[in-house]
Structure 1
């Protein structure tokens, strides 16, 4: 990229926003036609489910962008060389590709990066619509629209992370935070969806505490962070073979350099080349923590299976299926040399675990609220006013 060209160029912003609005109108129109005449909570739940689907797609496209080294396909932000699309920047991209045919800027990589940005902005537009509708009709909803507000706030933060991913040249800590931010956005959308549906989960009566689910969810997020650190540092192939690593059960590792967070890609904190043993340490940390996570997920799935509740058993089946999916895709990354299909499957499976566990936690919390409100409702005089603010509805 020309040194005189700014890393941040706001000139195409209005055109980008217009394009994002047009893209968002397509799924929004489909949702509106399908939900005509439905109660408002159901409408908003369906809209949030649609946004959830598109957010999982966005996570997959983001992973594909990273896996194809397309994160700097357009090396400025938010447009591409100050243009709406790579078509407008054809001359600049051609010059960069001629100078470095396998470099970070090529026509293909530019389109991958911009498609990721287009989808991200469209998802942001849909989240804005959902938040505005939730606040406008807040008196008709079973819960406060604060989850919708938090989701809107966080999608703006994610946009900032996307900007710094480009302007800081794929700084590993920023890229990993961007990945974690996408999972948080997904979790917020799930919480928003469950708040609109208000479906307390009966397995709460089987003494399955939401805190237990929260601990397992925290372990999943930790493993995603370690996996993101592996991916952003290109450490997937640092260990050849499984279950050993490069023929050893405990290979030589350099965790001090590997887990120095404030450093540039491929460098140590002091600016030297990152040693190979540091990449091995990053890879092995992800493998070892996977053992802890597998045990936790199996224990939770067994507890749900034994809950005696059909919905709890469906959650157990979902967790078991996602766990097998993650083990198969993770092993495929190692033994098949990091194929893009397996890497994408691994990223989507991680998002699935976050979504399922967040949904489970939200419904258990709703059940706790119903249980806590039940004595007050029972003591309420006949014909008396409501006890407290809007109450979650059992289903």
Structure 2
């Protein structure tokens, strides 16, 4: 019991640390501090303690936090593999360690050698995967862990269960497009919201095409999550894990779309940086919830639904 409390505490620290890394990574990109330490890694401009500039402070702080969280995650990994009887916990901590190392290596390569925007956009995606795995690991040691292991008796049709995983995978595509917008510095490609440069369908060229593609993808994500929620609502009880996950997914995708509008409307104002960080925080929460949604859906029982059955409306 004592060891389980330690694993829970370390998994919580790992999850919070990964969340902080996501936010700090977004801050590095938005403040253009990625070159704050020059071409040196792991040193910063050839020094262990670099000269104080805003860019070097932001970049080096990000590196420091990654290192500390990596040590915490390593300790968590050792304890989980030695003392946990849950196979899924070992998968989660293993996945977290793999993507943490991957994003650290990609970050180092981005410093040492110039990388394309398409490659740099993967960095946020890998960090997001690390956070998702640490979130699932922490939930194993909470009251939600049982639903992730054996389910709670909820019955979902095969189509709904497959749809959950489609939405999860598609959400990652939307995340990548958002990261690509940031790394190509295309955020100003669409001025105004919901119209893009005063047009319903703008020209698909340059930064305008990149931003508009992300907007359309985000809108589709919102619609499919709404549809998924309605189908889950027609088959699951309100107190079930999958219903709660579907409801939270709908809430957070709505907030995410609203924060995207906030980012666009704040361009040119001092609040723009805050709006951008809020956008990164909300997509992290949404993706984490969708991952939990996907795992719990795997442990639901088969529910046969007539082809003509429609979800009941709110």
Aligned to 1:207: 157
Q: Distance in 1 between matches of 2:89 and 2:31?
A: 41
**CA 232–145 in structure 1, closer or farther in 2 if over 3 Å, else same:** same
Q: Deviations over 1:78-101 (max 9, x none)?
A: 120222222xxx3xx7xxxxxxxx
In the TM superposition, 1:1-395 aligns within 5 A as 38-75=1-38, 76-86=40-50, 90=51, 107-138=53-84, 140-141=85-86, 143=88, 145-169=90-114, 171-196=116-141, 198-200=145-147, 201-202=151-152, 204-207=154-157, 209-254=160-205, 278-306=206-234, 307-310=236-239, 311-337=241-267, 339-367=272-300
Query: Tell me, what secondary structure is at the counterpart of 1:216?
Result: helix
CA distance in structure 2 between the aligned counterparts of 1:360 and 1:185, rounded to whole angstroms: 17
What's the Cα RMSD here? 2.3
Q: Secondary structure at the match of 2:63?
A: helix
Q: How many residues align?
A: 290
Q: CA deviation at 1:144?
A: 6.1
Most deviating of 196-205 and 224-233: 196-205
Distance apart, 1:143 and its partner CA: 4.4
Q: Where in structure 1 are there 5+ consecutive unaligned residues?
A: 1-37, 94-106, 255-277, 372-395
When the two structures are superposed, what TM-score results if normalisation uses the length of structure 1?
A: 0.68
Quote the offset at 1:42 in angstroms.
4.8
Task: Give 5+ residue unaligned stretches, structure 2.
Answer: 303-314
Moved over 6 A (4+): none
Go from structure 1 to structure 2 and tell me whether the alpha carbon gap of 1:43 and 1:304 turns closer, same or farther (over 3 Å shift): farther
Report the Cα offset of residue 122 of structure 1: 1.1
Distance apart, 1:203 and its partner CA: 6.2
Cα distance in 2 for residues equivalent to 1:301 and 1:49: 28
Cα distance in 2, alignment partners of residues 350 and 143 from structure 1: 24
Q: Secondary structure at the match of 2:264?
A: helix
How far, CA to CA, are the matches of 2:155 and 2:13 in structure 1?
31
Confirm or deny: 8 A CA contact 1:238 1:280 kept in the other structure.
yes
**Conservation of the 8 A alpha-carbon contact between 2:246 and 2:293:** no
8 Å Cα contact 1:40-1:141 kept in structure 2: no
**CA radius of gyration, larger in:** 1
- C-alpha spacing 1:83/1:293, structure 2 compared with 1 (3 Å): same
Q: Shift of the alpha carbon at 1:39? A: 4.8
Distance in 2, Cα, partners of 1:229 & 1:142:
35
Compared CA separation, residues 141 and 291, structure 1 to 2 (3 A):
closer
TM-score, normalised to structure 2, is 0.84
Aligned to 2:311: none
Asked if 2 retains the 8 angstrom alpha-carbon contact of 1:74 and 1:114, the reply is yes
What SS is found at the alignment partner of 2:200? Answer: coil
